Structure 1
């Protein structure tokens, strides 16, 4: 899956893709385990081979706010902390048993020095992250919860029902009770 993912960008040579793959470390996370905890330095990027991860933070109220859910075939990191080198303010947790392919930041930095293709590749990844964030922001401000839920179902139907109700409701910005009503309305 990682080879197909990297090839799909039409930027990296087969040798560069092999080089990237040689730097990956396979990691298994059990459901409920953490990829990173708040207050830690973000020194890794993970490709989600299987499973589902959620990013969340806890405001002073203590309530967990899930703001990102990531599915297989995507990259995941505490990006702002990865870029700045500061401790992260978020937690990344496995929602289901997950297999990750992890690369260290120092290896990413070395790759960036070896070829302009890596700079282009990581620029594309950064642009995609921005576009996803913008899409989520617009959906949140423009659409009702039902539309946001239907959009998620249309894009990730195989995985949505694996996500615990409270995490999914938080991600959609609604209560678990409201999400239960939406599911009944949509006949899930």
Structure 2
């Protein structure tokens, strides 16, 4: 987490160290949930290791994976975290994971202090918006093959750890279609 925050060039070394000390390390086992649908998000976590998926249930009760989160990223049910309303999403560990958890009250306190803390919170909000917009455009403009290629280019080392049904759901295709894409790319 320290390296990640240093790379942003927003906080001083002392601020990064202080923030790190405010977090609580937590182990989340494969299959366990960081948050479930219907809960209110009051935590954000930095993923030291592991993979998470965010998913929701469609009106037909189908499990739809819409986000994969890898190490060196922050995880939370962002809309619920902001609005303090019940979340529609579930965030589940796909592997054993280690996270550093921060309470929402800490971020509320930091927001009121201004300065670098406000710049950091602004950065997180903007980064979340950009990530979601990129995903939206990728889904609207590109083929499933291109979406899979993008995932390989950015997270190849993790893909073998994501079950195919979740990967296919994330790409918006069937497992059969994903198998065809993978076979075509290896030939």
Superposition CA RMSD, Å: 1.1
Once residues 108 and 15 of structure 1 are traced to their aligned partners in structure 2, the CA distance between those partners, rounded to angstroms, is: 17
Q: For structure 2, list consecutive stretches of 5 or more residues without a partner in the other structure.
A: none
Inter-partner Cα distance in structure 1 for 2:104 and 2:95: 25
Aligned residues: 187
Superposed CA offset, 1:101-158 (max 9, x none): 1100011111222342111011111111111111111110111000000000000010
Q: 2:69, 2:81 → 1: CA distance?
A: 17
**1:16 match:** 15
CA distance in 1, matches of 2:141, 2:71: 27
Q: TM-score, normalised by structure 2?
A: 0.97
Q: Could you tell me the TM-score, scaled by structure 1's length?
A: 0.97
Kindly report which structure 2 residues correspond to 1:69-88, keeping only aligned pairs within 5 A, or say none.
69-88=68-87
Question: Could you report, residue by residue, the CA deviation over 1:81-105 in whole angstroms, capped at 9, with x for unpaired residues?
Answer: 0000101110000011111111000
After superposition, residues 148-159 of structure 1 pair within 5 angstroms as 148-159=147-158
SS at match of 2:166: helix
**3-state DSSP class of the match of 1:32?**
coil
Q: Gaps (5+ residues) in structure 1?
A: none
Deviation string 1:55-94 (CA, Å, 9 cap, x unpaired) is 0000221110101001110011000000001011100000
Give every structure 1 segment of 4 or more consecutive aligned residues whose post-TM-superposition deviation is greater than 6 Å: none
After TM superposition, list the pairs within 5 Å mapping 1:29-108 onto structure 2.
29-108=28-107
